Structure formats: structure tokens, C-alpha cells
Amino acid sequence: MRILLASSEVHPYSKTGGLADMVGSLAKTLARAGHRVGVVTPLYAGIRERFPELKQLDLPLDLPLGPRRVRGEVWSLEPMPGLTVYFVDQPAFYERADLYQEEGVDYPDNAERFIFFSKAAAHLALHLDWHPEVLHLHDWQASVATLLIHHQRKQTGEGTTPGICLTIHNLAYQGLFPAAQYALTNLPRDYFTPAGVEFYGQLGCLKAGIVYADVITTVSPRYAREITTEEMGCGLDGLLRLRNSSLVGILNGVDYDVWNTINNPYLKHPYSSADLSGKAANKLELQKEFGLPIDASLPLFGGIGRLAEQKGVEITLGALEEMLTTNMQFVAVGTGAPAFQRAYLDLARRHPAQVSVRIGFDEGLSHRIEGGCDFFVMPSRFEPCGLNQMYGLRYGTIPIVRTTGGLDDTVIDVREDAEKANGIKFIEYSSTALAKSIRKALVLFDQPELLRHFRLNGMSADFSWDRTITQYLQAYQQTLAASRKSNR
Ligand code: ADP
């Protein structure tokens, strides 16, 4: 098959979260399976320096963006046979300190930046000489390409446009902008209606994708069900229920080339399920790195991630306040809302022998936390898929999670299956419920044989992409069939 993916972040070129990991490894796995794959993504600051082998393509961009025209260039890279990454070079839009925001505040021209990106993706889908059959868009930043292709399909008819598959990585981020920004699409006003891209008077970029994509996927089966409910549908549940026959939940895979404990440049001591001594050594290294007392007998809990309300920062802070009366340690790396950053730093200041946090984005440290901790805390309010708990499992670090979305789909609690148990789950979104789970973890920590049983169960869980890819290929077939139907 010939598939073009479009995403505002792709590992290893750019990353703020799981989206980058998912797109990077999906592309690699598809190419490895023999498909022709492209990925369109912005050329952010620093990429050119880190990947000097980038080549400029003879594919200049000169696209309308509201009243003006915006030019750009396309640079490409072939990290492996069958895979080409296309970087959209528009320095005024993408050469910035960060991807979407600074100090917790979105860039004011994000509508321009990502509608332009969507236009570039649609342009490449229509003009690349290898004629992609499927355009696979990710999240709101690429979603407007759905509408552009839909419009093109109406103008030019069958067979002229690729099928569109949209993956929702997080329904809470919808790309909502004032109605006036619709003009940036340069499309007829007809689409700006409640049945189209209007969302309560605003332009809804993700909504454009949901209305017009041939097939919609999301990143876990449970989240696919959750987003069709009023409680978790972020105002789009009615529309998603309408599109239910085109909505599929596919659990993200893990790139075990990157996320493994044996061949990992970030881990000082390699280890495997056959010999966990390296894990014990990594724990001591981690305690040292965080400036905490170095002591194997202290249970070490860890957290990694965006410091956003979604991730359960409030209940983590509350549960820690309660549980730090015990002999536990907690380390974390994260970045996000300034108030949460301050709260974590304040907790560390008040408990210097037990809590240590790093504010910032540090990929190596995220591997060392997964590798060195005994338990990984991920109490999200909602979680479309979540990758960190899956990384934790592979690293023998027992996840403590809330029963939501992908967390529920990937972690097995002892109450579900004592033999296969690999983590601790709780239901209620509260500090008390999380503290209770931490207490269970402490009990587990005191039973070395049972602890080992949990760790080994986690390490043997298989979320490899080779298994997941079949489901994406099915979704692409469904996309092609649906696009033919809509062309008629
Ligand atoms: P989300 O996509 O909602 O942010 P996921 O758990 O699906 O959450 O994926 C998060 C990814 O981003 C993981 O690879 C995680 O290690 C990484 N990550 C998040 N925050 C940081 C950080 N501050 N430093 C390093 N890696 C981070």
C-alpha cells in the first residue's frame, strides 16, 4: 500500500508526547512490512542541525492562507528503505523555541501555523509522484487536510484523491479558533455549519476531520467507546455516535527498538527478565542522579509526563502528601502548567529526602525513571492510550493506573487475573483512591516473590507494532472502500 502520514510531531525529529512516538514507529513498521510510506511534518528549529543529511525537494509550496499567499519549501530524509520524511520548511511558522506554546500559553498564530501545515499535507498527498492511496492524518493540527481533500474530491471526482484516515490521539485538544479564522481555509462558506466544521460558533479543526474522514481511529478500544459518551465526548460525542460505524479503536504499539532494557544507550546497567540485577543497579543510579538517599530497601515511585490536568497531577500531589509519612521515595520529570510545576517543586523542597523532580523535557531521564523505579504512577483522569505505562511494564516497573482508556486496556490488576497481574488499578479519581493503591504497592514491595511475579508478567507483555499493524492495514482497506463509496 502507499500511505502518507501527517503529524505535527514525529520521533526522533520532534516530540512533546505520545503522538510523536506513535507516528514515528507506525511509519517505520509499515515501511519494514514493505509498504511505501511518507510522513509529512513541520521543520522545527534544530532538526536541520541534528539531521544534516536533509535534502531539498523540487516541490516549492506557494499556498493561499486567507488573504495572502505563503511560501515554503519541502526537505526530505530517507531514514530507511521505503520511508521518506517530508519536512515542511516555513521558518516564520516553525522556527520557534517550542512546538505549540511557551510558558503554558499557546502561540497566538496556531491557526495559521497548522492550517498551513494541513494545506501542505494535502498538497503533498495530491502531488507526490508516488501517488499515496491513503492519507493518514493525526490530531487537530493535521485535520483540516480532511476538509481540503473532501472539497477536492467533490470538484474532481472518483479516483483523484486519496482515502482519508484520521487518528484522534486526544479528543480534548480540538484546535478551536474564532470563526473568522475559517477564512484561512480559502474554502466556500458552505462548510462552516453545525453539520460541518463549526463548533458552537468557532472553527473546530478536529471536528473537520471527524465529519469528513473516511475512517476515524483512536488509540485504544476503551477510549473509542468512551468518546461516544456524553461524559467523555468533549461535546463531540453526538457526532462520534453518528460516525460510529467508521470509528475503530486500535491500541498503540511500543517501539521495542527504542524502549528496551538490554540495548539502551540511556541505561547504565542492561537487564532482562532472566536477570534483574541491572534493574537494581539502575535504581541506585537513579537515586543518586536525583540526589536522594541511595538505598535499595526504599520503594521508589516515579512519574513522567506533561503536567496537565488530564494526567492526574492534583491527585498525585494529594496522595503523596498523605503517603510521604511512610518510607517511600518519589521522582519525576515533567513540564507543563506553571502552577503544577511550582507545586511539584514545592513538594520536593518540603521533603528533600523523599521527593525530587526535574522540570523540563529529558528523553534520557524518562528511560532512566522507567528503568530505575519500582513503581510507575499514572493516575490520569482520562487517557486515550498512554505509552508510559506500557514502557513501565517492559522495564519491570509496576504501573499504578486509573481504570480509564488505554490504561485499563493494557494493565492487569490482581482482581482481574491473579496469575497474569502486572499492575495496580483504581477506579475513583481521588487522592484517597490513589493513596490506597500506593499502600497496596508498599505491601507488594515487602513480598519479593510476588513483586518479582508482577515484574516478570509486565516484562513479558507484548505490545509490539508488528501485531498492531494488521489492524491499521485493515483500517486503511476500510478507508479505501469508504472513499470509493463517497466518490460515487
Ligand atoms: P501523552 O501523549 O498524553 O503526553 P503518553 O504517555 O502517551 O502521554 O506519552 C508520553 C510520551 O512523552 C512518552 O514517550 C514519555 O516518555 C514522553 N514524555 C512526556 N513528558 C516528558 C518529559 N518531560 N521528558 C521526557 N519525556 C517525556
More confident residue, 177 or 156: 177
Phi, psi of 375 (to 5 degrees): -135, 145
Query: Taking a C-beta distance cutoff of 8 angstroms, is the pair 223, 405 a contact?
Result: yes
By mean pLDDT, which of 16-30, 150-164, 268-282, 348-362 is the weakest?
150-164
Residues 105 and 217 in one domain: yes
Express as a percent the part of the chain with pLDDT over 70.
99
For the segment 362-378, what is each residue's pLDDT rounded down to a tens digit?
Answer: 999 999 999 999 999 99
Phi, psi of 329 (to 5 degrees): -120, 155
Does residue 160 carry a pLDDT above 90?
A: no
Cα 267 from Cα 270, distance rounded (Å): 6
For residue 18, the CA-to-ligand 1 centroid distance in Å is 6
> Could you identify the atom of ligand 1 that is nearest to the CA of residue 406?
7
Residues 26 and 94 in one domain: yes
pLDDT of residue 356: 98
* Ligand 1, atom 17: closest residue by C-alpha: 17
Do the domain assignments include residue 267?
A: no
Cα 347 from Cα 374, distance rounded (Å): 20
* Ligand 1, atom 9: closest residue by C-alpha: 18
Do the domain assignments include residue 272?
A: no
For residue 54, the CA-to-ligand 1 centroid distance in Å is 26
Cα 201 from Cα 209, distance rounded (Å): 17
Do the domain assignments include residue 6?
A: yes
Do the domain assignments include residue 261?
A: no
CB 401: neighbour CB atoms within 10 A? 29
* Ligand 1, atom 14: closest residue by C-alpha: 18
Residues 126 and 218 in one domain: yes
Residues 163 and 295 in one domain: no
Phi, psi of 402 (to 5 degrees): -85, 150
For residue 292, the CA-to-ligand 1 centroid distance in Å is 23
pTM, entire model: 0.95
Residues 470 and 452 in one domain: no
Residue 346 structural domain: 277-463
Do the domain assignments include residue 263?
A: no
CATH of the domain at 450: 3.40.50.2000
DSSP SS3 for 400: strand
Residues 457 and 333 in one domain: yes
Please report how the helices 139-156 and 110-127 are oriented relative to each other, as an axis angle in degrees rounded to 10.
50
Does residue 488 carry a pLDDT above 70?
A: no
pLDDT of residue 21: 97
Query: Taking a C-beta distance cutoff of 8 angstroms, is the pair 176, 183 a contact?
Result: no
Residue range 312-325: average pLDDT?
Answer: 98
Do the domain assignments include residue 270?
A: no
Residues 76 and 181 in one domain: yes
Question: What value does the mean pLDDT of the chain take?
Answer: 97
* Ligand 1, atom 16: closest residue by C-alpha: 366
Phi, psi of 126 (to 5 degrees): -90, -20
> Could you identify the atom of ligand 1 that is nearest to the CA of residue 169?
2
Residues 432 and 478 in one domain: no
Does residue 300 carry a pLDDT above 70?
A: yes
For residue 416, the CA-to-ligand 1 centroid distance in Å is 27
Residue range 139-147: average pLDDT?
Answer: 98
Residues 369 and 221 in one domain: no
For residue 188, the CA-to-ligand 1 centroid distance in Å is 39
Cα 142 from Cα 249, distance rounded (Å): 19
pLDDT of residue 103: 85
Does residue 486 carry a pLDDT above 90?
A: no
For the segment 225-260, what is each residue's pLDDT rounded down to a tens digit?
Answer: 999 999 999 999 999 999 999 999 999 999 999 999
Q: Cβ contacts of residue 462 below 8 Å, gap of 6+? A: none
Query: Taking a C-beta distance cutoff of 8 angstroms, is the pair 310, 18 a contact?
Result: no
pLDDT of residue 158: 66
Residues whose beta carbon lies within 6 Å of some atom of ligand 1: 17-19, 21, 304-306, 333-335, 361-363, 366, 385-388
For the segment 30-83, what is each residue's pLDDT rounded down to a tens digit?
Answer: 999 999 999 999 999 999 999 999 999 999 999 999 999 999 999 999 999 999
* Ligand 1, atom 4: closest residue by C-alpha: 17
For residue 179, the CA-to-ligand 1 centroid distance in Å is 32
Do the domain assignments include residue 45?
A: yes
Cα 239 from Cα 236, distance rounded (Å): 5
Residues 441 and 470 in one domain: no
pLDDT of residue 487: 55
* Ligand 1, atom 2: closest residue by C-alpha: 18
Query: Taking a C-beta distance cutoff of 8 angstroms, is the pair 384, 284 a contact?
Result: no
For the segment 118-142, what is each residue's pLDDT rounded down to a tens digit?
Answer: 999 999 999 999 999 999 999 999 9
Structurally, the chain folds into a number of domains equal to 2
For residue 254, the CA-to-ligand 1 centroid distance in Å is 13
Residue range 265-278: average pLDDT?
Answer: 98
CB half-sphere exposure, 405, CA atoms < 13 A: 28
Test site for ligand 1: of 25, 168, 255, 304, most ligand atoms within 8 A of the Cβ: 304
Closest CA to 42 of 106, 103, 115: 115
> Could you identify the atom of ligand 1 that is nearest to the CA of residue 360?
23
Does residue 8 carry a pLDDT above 60?
A: yes
Query: Taking a C-beta distance cutoff of 8 angstroms, is the pair 5, 38 a contact?
Result: yes
pLDDT of residue 162: 97
C-alpha torsion sign, points 138, 144, 148, 151: positive
> Could you identify the atom of ligand 1 that is nearest to the CA of residue 358?
23
Do the domain assignments include residue 264?
A: no
* Ligand 1, atom 21: closest residue by C-alpha: 305
Residues 160 and 290 in one domain: no
Pairing state between β 202-204 and 398-402: unpaired
Test site for ligand 1: of 306, 362, 411, most ligand atoms within 8 A of the Cβ: 306
Query: Taking a C-beta distance cutoff of 8 angstroms, is the pair 307, 316 a contact?
Result: no
Closest CA to 292 of 238, 348, 333, 248: 348
Does residue 198 carry a pLDDT above 80?
A: yes
For residue 305, the CA-to-ligand 1 centroid distance in Å is 5
Q: In this structure, which amino acid lies at residue 253?
A: G
Please report how the helices 110-127 and 205-212 are oriented relative to each other, as an axis angle in degrees rounded to 10.
30
Residues 214 and 106 in one domain: yes
For residue 351, the CA-to-ligand 1 centroid distance in Å is 25
Grid cell of 344 as nine digits: 511539584
